[in-house]
Amino acid sequence: MNTQLRTILPSLLLLAACTEPGSGLDSDTTSESGDTAAETQEFTACDDEFTITDANPMYAWTPNAITLESHELSPGVFVIHDANANTYAPAGIPLATSGGFVIGDDGVLLVETMVNRQLFCQVIDLVREQTDKPVLYAINTSFHGDHSFGNAYLPDEVQVVQHERTADHIAAHFDEDIAFMENGFGADQGIAEATPVAADVRVTDDGWSVDLGGVVVEAQYHGFGQTHGDLFVHVPSAKVLWTGNPLIAEAPALPWLLEGQAQAVSATLAAVKASVPADTTIIPGHSHPLGLADFDFSIDYLDTLVDEVQTAVDAGLTVEETVAAVSMEPFQGYALWDWIHSGVNVPTTHAELGG
Ligand SMILES: [Zn+2]
């Protein structure tokens, strides 16, 4: 479908919902609530049944073993997260991607589309438990497949919203991201079924917002968060903010510095924290809703990491010696500590600081 048609289709759907009977549309399904539009929107990717499997302990988390649940945070504003979040997150056990949806008078906006068809279809089921209104938009907070591969299963008329650098990254590196996701989450989870989808809305650093009818959703850029194109999704009227991966979860989860830049990530998290009211509900990339103070563990971890690695570099330590020296015991507890802290965060920071 061409871009122009994608742009006008949601308006056509809304128009159809308001059309008088006898116009050629199925008048039986026309109602003031816009039911016609919903019934025109089919998620054919979700026609087949799926089964929740056992988790494979070799994976960080097992996509097909995940059950997602949703909770209403404010009228029409829902978080979606891993059903194990309340027990796993405080114990430092990694969780599936979190997301959510916002329902306006005109339709629905999704935050994240998940890593595979099964999790995408769970999201759609959770939306359909609440409303028959059409899904109009899907925002991905980054290019990472666990936040965006489900775009492949969206009907064409849904507008995909991404930072422009995220869109460019997906266009150039999709196969690499499939390989990375299969490496972390399994080659037997349907991940490679996904195909790249071009963004319909390319968000610049100045951000983007949409009025869904009675509720405004903003996609904000606050600087380098984990990638060059991280979006933070804010519903000001509800005081709800989705962070994506820059804030993975509460303590003891750590930032995954897959592209380094510990200092920039710390500054971005501090800027995000300062940008919203103190009683804002924070939905991290991979956990249940948190408060503003839950930014502090990640920020303190990053600042301590930079200080201690800089000391090691100044003392002439090799990367192996730095990993051994920068053990940061007060911050330990994350199940992926060895992989993320010792394997990723210390080595990348060591290289950046001149080691
Ligand atoms: Zn993620």
Mean predicted confidence (pLDDT) in 63-74: 98
CATH architecture under which domain 41-296 falls = 4-Layer Sandwich (3.60)
Residue 167 CB contacts under 8 Å (≥ 6 apart), including other chains: 198, 199, 202, 229
Give every CB contact of residue 258 below 8 A, 6+ residues apart in sequence. 226, 344
Contact predicate 234/243, CB 8 Å: no
CA–CA gap between residue 126 and residue 236 (Å, rounded): 23
207, 229 contact by CB (below 8 A): no
pLDDT tens-digit profile of 113-150?
999 999 999 999 999 999 999 999 999 999 999 999 99
Phi, then psi, of 231 in degrees rounded to 5: -110, 140
Q: State how far the Cα of 120 lies from the Cα of 124, in Å rounded to an integer.
A: 6
Cα 352 from Cα 53, distance rounded (Å): 41
CA of 98 to the centre of ligand 1 (A): 8
pLDDT at 19 over 70: no
d(CA 139, CA 159): 8
In the predicted structure, residue 2 carries a pLDDT above the cut 80 = no
Determine how β-strand 232-235 pairs with β-strand 216-220. antiparallel
Query: Is the pLDDT score of 18 beyond 60?
Result: no
Pull the structure tokens for residue 85: 């979040």
How far apart are the CA of 34 and the centre of ligand 1, in A?
33
Q: Is 311 or 15 the better-scoring residue by pLDDT?
A: 311
The Å distance, Cα 272 to ligand 1 centre, comes to 18
d(CA 21, CA 28): 8
What band does 355 get if pLDDT is binned at 50, 70 and 90?
confident
Ligand 1 centroid to residue 97 C-alpha, Å:
5
pLDDT higher than 90, residue 40: no
> Comparing 4 with 321, which gets the higher pLDDT?
321
- CA dist 270 and 281 (Å) reads 16
Ligand 1 center–CA 237 separation, angstroms: 26
14 and 106 Cβ atoms separated by less than 8 Å: yes
Domain positions in the chain are 41-296
What pLDDT, on the 0 to 100 scale, is given for residue 13?
34
CA of 231 to the centre of ligand 1 (A): 13
Q: Which parts of 107-163 fold into alpha helices (H)? A: 117-128, 145-148
| Residue appearing with tokens 């995940």 | 66
> Over the stretch 221-264, which tens digit does the pLDDT of each residue have?
999 999 999 999 999 999 999 999 999 999 999 999 999 999 99
The pLDDT assigned to 16 comes to 33
Question: Averaged over 15-23, what is the pLDDT?
Answer: 34
Give the mean model confidence (pLDDT) for residues 310-315.
98
142 Cα: distance to centroid of ligand 1 (angstroms)? 8
**Are 244 and 276 in contact, with CB atoms under 8 Å apart?**
no
Residue 68 β-bridge partners: 82
Identify the band that residue 99 occupies on the pLDDT scale cut at 50, 70 and 90: very high
Ligand 1 centre to CA of 121 (Å) is 18
